Chain A
Amino acid sequence: MASAVTPPAGGPRGTDGAPVRSDRSPWNWLLLVPIVVPLLVPLFNRVEPTLFGWPFFYWVQLLFVALGVLTTVVVYRATRRSPAEQAAARAAVARDTTPRDTAARDTTARGTTPRDTDRDGGR
């Protein structure tokens, strides 16, 4: 990849570029499971065994939803960054949002979205 362009230099916060990271991880291979399994139609294209009157075809595919959730949660947890880096990320969001919010705080509009407290990435 011939790139004649250097990464953009940082502004007021120094001239160092972005840290080089990798999003590769052996855990990522786990994501293949919920991609491949729901596409193997011959394995589940049948009526028996039924569950609560549901043919196998239907309830097992709803179960695949859980499979997808499970694997993405596992991969997310396993490839999470260190607590220090996460704290830095939260601080970055807070830094970016605070000035604007205080400048134009609107209690009415904010009151309609009480659930939005974790937008800074906090859990």
Chain B
Amino acid sequence: MDGVNVVELSIVIFFFVVVTVLGFVASRWRRAESLMHLDEWGLGGRNFGTWVTWFLLGGDLYTAYTFVAVPALMFGAGAAGFFAVPYTVVIYPLVFLVVIRLWSVSHVRGYVTPADFVRARFDSPGLALLVALTGIVATMPYIALQLVGIEAILKAMGVEGELPLIVAFVILALYTYNSGLRAPALIAFVKDTLIYLTIIVAVIVIPVKLGGWDAIFGAAEEKFSAGTGAGVILPATGQLGYATLALGSALALFLYPHSLTGVLAASNRDVLKRNMSALPVYSLALGFIALLGFMAIAAGVTPIGEDGNTIVPVLFQEMFPSWFAGVAFAAIGIGALVPAAIMSIAAANLFTRNIYKEFLKRDATPRQEAQVAKIVSLVVKFGAVAAILFIDPQFSIDLQLIGGVIILQTLPAVALGLYTRWLHRGGLIAGWFAGMASGLLMLYNIPRLGPDGTVVREHFGGSSFALSKLGLDSASSVYTGLLALLANLLVAVLVTVVLRAMKVSDGVDATAPADYTAEREDPTFRELPDPLESAPPGATGGETARR
């Protein structure tokens, strides 16, 4: 590539300026009396309707990294990369009933994070701390990976150096600091308009240029027929891994703090239910995006350097005129900013509520809470930039792989906790340790194999664990996260039985059964918990609802 593509760069900068202005204006959008309250800064006033929630959750769950990495996976691994589609189909019916329960109980009791809920439900600050730490550790590398998406488009445009990346993130950090969750909510409108536009054009234009879908799938077939394992359909031994990866990823997605932040910001239960039907539109788009990987094969795209993530930008460059390639790059770039903002807000909420407030300053005022959260969101973002610049990006990719596995270990406390309190807090803590230890041990023992079957890396080479390593006579592999979750549940149940037999106290439940089905018009509903010093609720219990 000779120098910088000026047309593309100008268009990307234009859209970047637009969203920057929007990001700052957002603080005035449906303004509350004061933004200095975690409900306002961190949850956008908890008043987002069907459309805003759709854009916000869509922008949140389908990130730039997904848009770049899924086609790259298809490009390299064939059909296995298509798991993203069943993953995002299964998720909505799976959480349809669960997230509305969490929404209700959070609104009645004023919870901002999943760890708030766990603390009150199981009367255990320790368990809440584990949930909060897991959330923060799983989210951080995810933020860093959004930068990988931006890096891919910068490389394609021929932009050298790390300064543009730093500038982009500093501006992002400033308007998130200023406007909170309202900024990504507003920017998501722009992001998704650009994404849908790009995909519709790509799906029409590129196949025509390449000689139809037959030619695209044919080229993929030809490429993979030479190698081992991969193909246009799954090898027999890859099917179990495909299904378990889809299921495990689906279970994990709504445990991530940033998804729950989007959920809690919805204005009522019906908004969420409607979104469970509307969000799959993004899954359809993701299916087409995945196939960009095969289109890149048919077009004979070669990645820039060794970076497989650049195949989509390069494909756009070869297929589109410069100005439209610029629009597509802007879509990916802005697509990185929205989730990065929400994730940093979610991590900041967790730190503020479940570490700062719980262990450092119990009498923090709502204003102090919001201030701490804002500062933490800055720290988190600069940490992400530093991680990409100073540490090998591969480290972030490894961490994100681990992130999916460890966030699953909060499922018994957060998701099952919404239905039953039978699992003892001690059992949940023991289960968490068992799941973490077994998950990390398995990941450590997964080597990465090169195309010719040789070991490229010894450890953390993927997330599919070969069943033969457990002594089973099978060539199949299973998603590590599910196996670790199984270990987690097993230990949690065993320890619960023991503790119950020993009559160890399981604490006081600070929620009531009616909380889980509460609707907005109920007298128990509260929009703005005030004062927040009653929270994290649970220890005192019985605090009266305002309104």
Contact = CB atoms under 8 A, between A and B. Distances in A.
Q: Decide whether A and B assemble into one complex.
A: yes
A10 B92 CA distance: 33
Interface string A58-89: 10011011011101110110000100011011
B20 interface: no
A64 B517 contact: no
A49 interface: no
B441 to A, nearest CB: 26
Interface in B7-63: 22, 25-26, 28-33, 45, 47-52
Contacts of B26: 109
B89 A1 contact: no
Interface string A1-32: 11111111111111011111111000010011
Nearest to B86: A38
Interface residues of B, number: 88
Interface centre among A4, A10, A41 (most CB of B within 10 A): A41
A70 B454 CA distance: 45
Given A7-B514, A28-B97, A65 B284 contact: yes
B473 interface: no
Contacts of B217: 53-55, 58
Given A108-B25, A113-B29, A17 B524 contact: yes
Interface in B212-235: 212-217, 232-234
B268 A93 contact: yes
B523 to A, nearest CB: 3
Interface string A95-123: 01100110110101110110110111100
B453 interface: no
Given A41-B243, A52-B213, A68-B89, A119 B82 contact: no
Sort chain A's interface into a size bin. Answer: 35 or more
Given A11-B547, A104-B33, A119 B50 contact: yes
A116 B25 contact: no
B284 A55 contact: no
| Interface core residue of B274, B523, B542 (most chain A CB under 10 Å) | B523
Given A41-B242, A119-B51, A22 B517 contact: yes
B517 A89 contact: no
B485 to A, nearest CB: 16
Contacts of B523: 10-11, 13-14, 16-18
Contact of A5 (B92, B212, B512): B512
Contact of B28 (A31, A109, A116): A109
A18 B545 CA distance: 11
Contacts of A121: 49-50, 267-268, 270-271
Interface string B92-105: 11101100110000
Contact of B233 (A4, A18, A52, A57): A57
Contacts of B323: none
A101 to B, nearest CB: 6
Given A1-B513, A7-B524, A68 B280 contact: yes
Nearest to B216: A53
Contact of B22 (A13, A55, A112): A112
Interface string B251-291: 00000000000000001101101101100100110010001
B512 A38 contact: no
Residue from the set B96, B284, B287, B521 with the largest chain A CB neighbour count within 10 Å: B521
Given A8-B108, A34-B92, 13 more contacts: A1-B513, A3-B511, A7-B524, A11-B523, A19-B514, A46-B233, A57-B82, A57-B234, A97-B30, A109-B28, A109-B186, A112-B186, A119-B48
16 contacts: A7-B108, A8-B543, A14-B523, A17-B523, A23-B101, A31-B96, A34-B93, A58-B291, A68-B89, A68-B90, A92-B268, A92-B519, A92-B521, A97-B30, A112-B29, A113-B186
Nearest 9 interchain pairs by C-beta: A119-B49, A10-B523, A53-B213, A92-B521, A53-B214, A38-B86, A5-B541, A104-B31, A109-B29
